[in-house]
Amino acid sequence: MKSNGNYDWKFSTVGGVTRVNIESGQDILHLDELDRKLWTALSCPLKGMEIDEKTMTMLDTNCDGKIHIEEIVAASKWLTKVINDPELLLKRDAFIPFTAFNTANEEGLHLLETSKQILENLGVEKDSISIADVSDSIAIFAKTRFNGDGIITENSADDEAMKALIKNVIDSMGSVTDRSGDPGIDTDKIEAFYTALADYTAWKDAGDADKANIFPYGDDTANALAACMAVKDKIDDFFMRCKLASFNTDSASVLDVSSAKIGEISGNNLAASTSEIATYPLARVNAEHKLPLGKEVNPAWAGAIAALKATVIDKEFKNAEYLTEEQWVSILAKFNAYNAWMGAKKGAEVEGLGYDTAKNILAENKKDALLELVAQDKALESKSNAIDQVDKLLHLYRDFYTLLTNFVTFSDFYNPEKKAIFQAGTLYIDERACDLCIKVSDMGAQGTMAPLSNMYILYCDCTCKSKPGTMTIAAVMTDGEAGAIMVGKNAVFYDRDGLGWNAVVTKIIENPISIRQAFWSPYRKMAKSVEDMINKRAAEKDAKVMADANAKIETAKVPTDGSKPAEIKPPFDIAKFAGIFAAIGLALGLVASAVGGLFAWLGLHWYHWVILFAAIIAIISGPSMVMAWLKLRKRNLSPVLNANGWALNAKVLVNVKFGATLTSIAKYPIVKTKDPFTTKAPLWRRILNWFILVVCLCVAVYFILPKDMRPFKSCCQKAAVEVVEEVVE
Three-class DSSP labels, 519-551 = HHHHHHHHHHHHHHHHHHHHHHHHHHHHHHHHH
Domain count, the chain: 3
- Per DSSP (E only), the strands in 192-321 are 290-292
Contacts for 29 with CB less than 8 Å, ≥ 6 apart: 76, 80, 86
| Per-residue model confidence (pLDDT) at position 640 | 94
Residue 239 CB coordination number (10 Å): 19
Give the residue from 615, 647, 665 where a domain finishes: 665
Give CA–CA dist 281/657, Å, rounded: 92
Question: 119 with 255, same domain?
Answer: no
Residue 585 lies in a domain: no
Question: 135 with 252, same domain?
Answer: no
Residue 658 lies in a domain: yes
Q: Give bridge partners of residue 663 from the DSSP assignment.
A: 434
| Per-residue model confidence (pLDDT) at position 574 | 46
- Amino acid identity of residue 670, one-letter, is I
Residue 677 CB coordination number (10 Å): 5
Residue 633 CA, chain-centre distance (Å), reads 33
Question: 499 with 462, same domain?
Answer: yes
Question: 467 with 390, same domain?
Answer: no
| Per-residue model confidence (pLDDT) at position 523 | 61
Give CA–CA dist 284/275, Å, rounded: 18
Question: 285 with 398, same domain?
Answer: no
| Per-residue model confidence (pLDDT) at position 710 | 47
Q: Could you tell me the CA-to-CA distances from 563 to 61, 64, 554, 556 in Å, in that order?
A: 105, 98, 14, 12
Q: How many residues does the chain have?
A: 729
Q: In sequence order, which ranges of 319-442 are alpha helices (DSSP H)?
A: 325-333, 336-343, 355-364, 367-378, 381-404
- Amino acid identity of residue 469, one-letter, is G
Question: 301 with 398, same domain?
Answer: no
Residue 101 lies in a domain: yes
| Per-residue model confidence (pLDDT) at position 728 | 46
Q: Which of 310, 321, 261 is nearest to 288 (CA)?
A: 321
Question: 649 with 503, same domain?
Answer: yes
Give CA–CA dist 394/524, Å, rounded: 57
Residue 613 lies in a domain: no
How many helices (H) and strands (E) the chain has is answered by 28, 19
Give CA–CA dist 98/128, Å, rounded: 5
Give CA–CA dist 496/676, Å, rounded: 41
Question: 231 with 283, same domain?
Answer: yes
Question: 20 with 132, same domain?
Answer: yes
Compute the CA torsion angle 289, 294, 297, 302 (nearest 10 deg): 140
Give CA–CA dist 95/129, Å, rounded: 6
DSSP state of 388: H
Taking a C-beta distance cutoff of 8 angstroms, is the pair 377, 146 a contact? yes
Q: Give bridge partners of residue 19 from the DSSP assignment.
A: 12
Contacts for 147 with CB less than 8 Å, ≥ 6 apart: 141, 178, 179, 180, 377, 380, 384
Q: Which of 360, 397, 362 is nearest to 195 (CA)?
A: 362
Residue 640 lies in a domain: yes
Question: 234 with 290, same domain?
Answer: yes
Q: In sequence order, which ranges of 508-649 are alpha helices (DSSP H)?
A: 515-556, 574-602, 607-632, 638-642
Going from the first residue of the chain to its last (729 residues), give the mean pLDDT of each consecutive group of 10, the final group possibly shorter: 76 86 94 93 93 94 94 96 95 95 93 89 89 75 73 89 93 88 91 93 91 90 93 92 87 80 81 87 89 89 92 90 92 93 92 92 92 88 80 95 94 91 95 94 90 92 91 92 87 94 94 69 65 74 78 64 52 48 53 54 56 66 64 85 93 88 87 75 73 68 53 50 48
| Per-residue model confidence (pLDDT) at position 440 | 94
Residue 437 lies in a domain: yes
Residue 115 lies in a domain: yes
Question: 92 with 230, same domain?
Answer: no
Q: Give bridge partners of residue 261 from the DSSP assignment.
A: none
Residue 151 lies in a domain: no
| Per-residue model confidence (pLDDT) at position 182 | 85
Q: Could you tell me the CA-to-CA distances from 254 to 248, 260, 292 in Å, in that order?
A: 11, 11, 20
Residue 324 CB coordination number (10 Å): 15
Give CA–CA dist 435/605, Å, rounded: 51
End-to-end CA, the chain: 89
Question: 385 with 450, same domain?
Answer: no
Taking a C-beta distance cutoff of 8 angstroms, is the pair 69, 113 a contact? no
Give CA–CA dist 439/472, Å, rounded: 6
Give CA–CA dist 91/71, Å, rounded: 21
Give CA–CA dist 269/276, Å, rounded: 11
How much of the chain is helix, strand and coil, in % rounded to 5?
55, 15, 30
Contacts for 78 with CB less than 8 Å, ≥ 6 apart: 396
Q: Where in the sequence is the domain holding 441, given as residue range(s)? A: 425-511+635-665
Compute the CA torsion angle 262, 264, 266, 267 (nearest 10 deg): 180
Model pTM above 0.85 = no
Give CA–CA dist 586/694, Å, rounded: 11
Contacts for 547 with CB less than 8 Å, ≥ 6 apart: none
